[in-house]
Structure 1
Amino acid sequence: MTSRFAVLGSPIAHSKSPLLHAAAYRELGLDWEYTRAEVSSGELGEFVLGLDDSWRGLSLTMPLKEEALALVDSVDVQSLLTGASNTVTLDHSNSKLTVQGFNTDVAGIVGALGDAAIRQTSHVLILGAGATARSAMVAAANLGAEQVTVAARSPHKTEEIVNVAARAGVAVSVVHLGDALTSDLVADVTISTLPGGALQLAPDDVLAVPQGAVLLDVAYDPWPSALGIAWQGAGGVTVSGLAMLVHQALGQVRIFVTGDPLLPLDREDEVFTAMKRAVGLSS
């Protein structure tokens, strides 16, 4: 019986996860099937319960990362810290479904910034306050950040990410999203967790970007994003969300193959190179 996997979310047609996973399993010599499925908020539980025992795992994107926690029997530390899982494994042993939740977004963000030679930072600006922003908060803590500024459309609705900062041991301040990019925050690294096209920049907006400051924009469709173009024009360095996508997907492949996001795969360098090539990133 072929092992089956999929990425779920809404919208999902743009997802490049099937390309990444197919490349990885092909390189590993595994005849596994990985597809995509449109699953909206409130539909995850019904979807999971309708799967047969050929299904072994799921990748989750908006708006399902928080919803997953209501279904899982256990979660990893990153899920506990962030309150979100982007990966679940499904075990149908003994006629009982057991679901484990994992968060590979944190490692994906750290890995993407590492590609830009960012392995330590003191001040991070996070755009957005949702599930991916909470993963960005934990990633900032892992990179040694002492101060994180969260820029949100509704600053009064940031209690969850502020609590994540407290658990991660990071000092946090909150500003309005509209003020974040044109005020002198002087963050070393900015991580935008906003959906593609969500941030509208006026033609006369002047970004306050320190020379050489790094922006990781987790949105990769379209790319370059409007924010990425403006950021580069202001003298900054941009990192595509594709880099994060590939790094977090590598963690998912580790989980699906070995059960452990920290256990390297056999021939992992070749697998990772194949995944990057599948989405047009240079090896």
Structure 2
Amino acid sequence: MTRATPAPGARAAVLGHPIGHSRSPLLHSTAYRELGVQIDYTAIDILPEQAEQIAARLRTEPGWVGVSVTMPMKDALIPYVDEPSDRVRRLGALNTIVVSRDANGVRLLAENTDVEGIVRSLDLPVPAGDGKAVVAILGSGNTALAALEACSLMGVGRVELLVRNPERASAAVELARTLGLEATALPYRQGGPRLGTYDAVISTLPARAADSWVDALGLGEGETPGPDAGVIKPGAVLLDVAYDPWPSVLANAWEAAGGLVVSGLSMLVHQGVEQVRLFTGIQDADWGRVTNVMCDAVGLPRP
């Protein structure tokens, strides 16, 4: 996907619903300013039934270099792209579309940089013994699928998907096993007594969706937990991909229990850096500095 630096009038956007809270316009604009590239990056509120319409706009309107894609559009747009990456085919979810133009016309190329976002933001502790971490993933939707691929790249040994209905997570479990992970799906209410076995937890639930799970996991004050509930492994990390509002109820409860918390903004920054590479076509840059200024823009500590 290496391309020439965008011409004047280049534009990009983040697509999703709701989208008003998105920090992507700030992050991308900051990165382009640092790189000296003129790309006008906006937010477009869009629903899955408008997928074909937005794909047609990307093909026919001048200036488009790409779009970032968030919920609920990550699978809705796949039928309308020309070239999904191997990863997108495997996961059945994208978060990036690059608009490629050449003598043969316009092609829409799809990638999923959520995987890099999770890997780079979640610095997993190395467990004793066989060195294979155990990770719990809350949810089994499109972001959970990216989290599974990230776990595979990080050398995780076992993944437990904590979900409302384990039967509906069968595709995610199958993907995990295809990726070489030992995997099971459990009702989230069974997660509390197992918290002490997890080296990390990745919540892929939408904003506020995890609030009602906190007591069931034994991390809240509303219910009386079982004898082992709410006891987390020392140094265990929570990555909560939902970053608005922040801190989330789950993040507060995890920190109160003695765990480490990583904001979903960190994931957003790191996956955004990869999108900036793709939209600008620039490969040779000080990407560490670009990452730093993006972190500064949203008030995150520099990595």
- Give the aligned partner of residue 168 of structure 1: 179
Find 1:29's aligned residue among 36, 40, 47. 36
Find the counterpart in structure 1 of residue 12 from structure 2. 5
Answer yes or no: is the 8 Å Cα contact 1:207–1:230 preserved in 2.
no
Contact 2:133 2:199 in 1 (8 A): yes
For residues 247 and 46 of structure 1, what CA distance do their matches in structure 2 show? Answer: 29
Report the CA distance between 1:94 and its aligned residue. Answer: 4.0
- Residue 80 of structure 1 aligns to a residue whose secondary structure is helix
Q: Which residue of 1 aligns with 2:153?
A: 142
Q: Which residue of 1 aligns with 2:96?
A: 87
State the alpha-carbon separation in 2 of the partners of residues 40 and 58 from structure 1. 15
CA distance in 2, matches of 1:80, 1:154: 25
Counterpart residue number, 2:255: 232
**Comparing 71-80 and 152-161, the one that deviates more:** 71-80
95-104 or 24-33: which moved more? 95-104
Query: Quick check: 236-245 or 44-53, which moved more?
Result: 44-53
Alpha carbons 2:101, 2:107 under 8 Å: kept: yes
1:231, 1:237 within 8 Å by CA — same for their partners in 2?
yes
1:45 to 2:52 alignment? yes
Q: Is the 8 A contact 1:127 1:150 kept in 2?
A: yes
Residue 270 (structure 1) aligned with residue 279 (structure 2): no
Task: Tell me how far apart the structure 2 counterparts of residues 117 and 172 of structure 1 sit (CA, whole Å).
Answer: 20
Change beyond 3 A, Cα 1:83–1:280: same
Contact 2:195 2:230 in 1 (8 A): no
User: What are the superposed Cα offsets for residues 187-237 of structure 1, whole Å, 9 maximum, x if unpaired?
Assistant: 111100001100213423552312221111111111111011111111111
Counterpart residue type for residue 233 of structure 1: A
Instruction: Kindly tell me the number of residue pairs found equivalent between the two proteins.
Output: 278
Q: Tell me the alpha carbon deviations over residues 101-142 of structure 1, each in whole angstroms, 9 at most, x when there is no partner.
A: 00100110000013x767975211000000000000111111
2:117 to 108, 115, 132: 108
Unaligned runs of 5+ in 1: none
Of 58-67 and 268-277, the range deviating more from structure 2? 268-277
Q: Which residue of 2 aligns with 1:124?
A: 135
Task: Check conservation: 2:132, 2:158, Cα contact below 8 A.
Answer: no
Bigger radius of gyration, 1 or 2?
2
Q: Which amino acid aligns with 2:55?
A: V
Using the aligned pairs only, state the percent identity. Answer: 38
Higher alpha-carbon deviation: 98-107 or 83-92:
83-92
Whole-Å Cα distance in 1 between the matches of residues 187 and 235 of structure 2? 24
User: Within 2, Cα distance between the matches of 1:222 and 1:121?
Assistant: 33
1:144-159 matches, within 5 Å, as: 144-159=155-170
Cross-structure match for 2:21: 14
Instruction: Find out whether 1:213 has 2:236 as its counterpart.
Output: yes
Residue in 2 that maps onto 1:57: 66
1:256 aligns with 2:279: yes
Go from structure 1 to structure 2 and tell me whether the alpha carbon gap of 1:48 and 1:280 turns closer, same or farther (over 3 Å shift). Answer: same
Normalised to the residue count of structure 2, the TM-score between the two structures is 0.86
Post-superposition offset of 1:269: 2.0
Shift of 1:77: 2.8
What SS class does the counterpart of residue 19 from structure 2 fall into?
A: coil
Corresponding residue SS for 2:275: helix
Q: Shift of the alpha carbon at 1:182?
A: 4.6
TM-score (norm: length of structure 1): 0.92
User: Deviation digits for residues 15-43 of structure 1, max 9, x if unmatched?
Assistant: 00001100000001111100000011221
Q: Alpha-carbon deviation of 1:68?
A: 2.2
